[in-house]
Amino acid sequence: MSALANHAFSKMNGIGNEIVVVDLRDSYAAVSADEARAVAQPSGVPFDQLMVLHRPRLPGTEAFIRIYNSDGSEVGACGNGMRCVVRRLFEQTGQTAVTFETKAGLLNCWQGPSPDLYTVDMGPPKFGWKDIPLAEEFRDTRYIELQIGPIDAPILHSPSVVNMGNPHAIFWVDDVNAYDLEKFGPLLENHPIFPERANITLAHIVDRDHIVMRTWERGAGLTKACGSAACATAVAAARLRRTNRIVTVTLPGGDLAIEWRERDDHVLMTGTATFEYEGRFDPALFASVA
C-alpha cells in the first residue's frame, strides 16, 4: 500500500499557487510519480506542487524536500511551496529561521518583516546556456532566438532565459493578458530548444520597481502564481537594466517582493503563505498505483 494512504497533509496556497505539504520525516518511504498524479486527480487533493519533507540528509538542515508537479514530474525549486512549508513548520515549532535541502541545493528561509510574510533565499540564478539548459549554444541569454507565429510578424519572440532552480523563459510584452497563454504555453514549454522543458512567462515592466507577469508552469499548466518564475523575471529584467534589483512582482494571485542581492548574487523572495485545511489522503486514491 502507498505510504501516502491515510497519511496527513496540509492544503495551502502561496498567493494562489496551490500547494500540498506532506511530512514523511518519520518514514523512509519515497513518493513515486504515479502517487503524485493520484493525489492531484480531481477526487484527490488537486495541486500545482506537492512538497514532500523527508529525513534530512545533511547536518544543519531541517529536511530534504522533494517537489512534484501535478503531472508527477519533479522540480528543483518552488518558492511559493517553500513559503507554505516554512509557515507550517514555524507554527509547529516556533522557529523563525531554517535551512532545507532540495534538488536545487540548500535553501535558507526566515520570518519576513511581518508575521504573515516569509522570505526564501532562492540562491543565485544561472545564465549559461548549458545551465538553463538549452539544446543549442546562445552566448547571450538575455535574449534568444525563439518565436511563435509568422517569421515576419511573430506573436511572441526573443525571450530572456534563466535557470532559477528550474528553466524559465520570459517574453516581454505590453499586456500580459493580451495573449492566449493556455494555447501558447504548452507549445513553448515543450519546444525542442528546452531539453528539460521550461516555465513560460509573459512579463510587462510597469516601471523600474514593478513588474506584472503571468506564467505557464512546466508540468502544472496555467497558474495563479509561480515563485521561481517571479524570481527569474525580476533577475532577467534587472539584467537588461530595465528595473532595479529590488522590485514588486504582481502575479494573478498577488504580489511578491523580489531582491536580487548584489553582494552575493542570491535572489530573495518574500510573500505570504495561506493555510486552507488539513486532512488525510483517501487510500482509494492509490488503488491503481503499483
Active site residues: 78, 226
Angle between helices 227-239 and 79-93 (to 10 degrees): 120
Measured CA to CA, the distance from residue 102 to residue 106 in angstroms comes to 6
- Give the CA distances from residue 125 to residues 150, 211, 213, 215, in Å, rounded to whole numbers and listed in that order: 32, 18, 19, 18
Measured CA to CA, the distance from residue 201 to residue 159 in angstroms comes to 9
For residues 156 and 186, the answer to whether their CB atoms sit within 8 Å is no
Read out DSSP for 94-121?
Answer: --SEEEEEETTEEEEEEE-SSTT-EEEE
In three-state secondary structure terms, 69 is strand
- Give the residue among 51, 125, 61 at the shortest CA–CA distance from 273: 51
Output DSSP code: residue 284: G
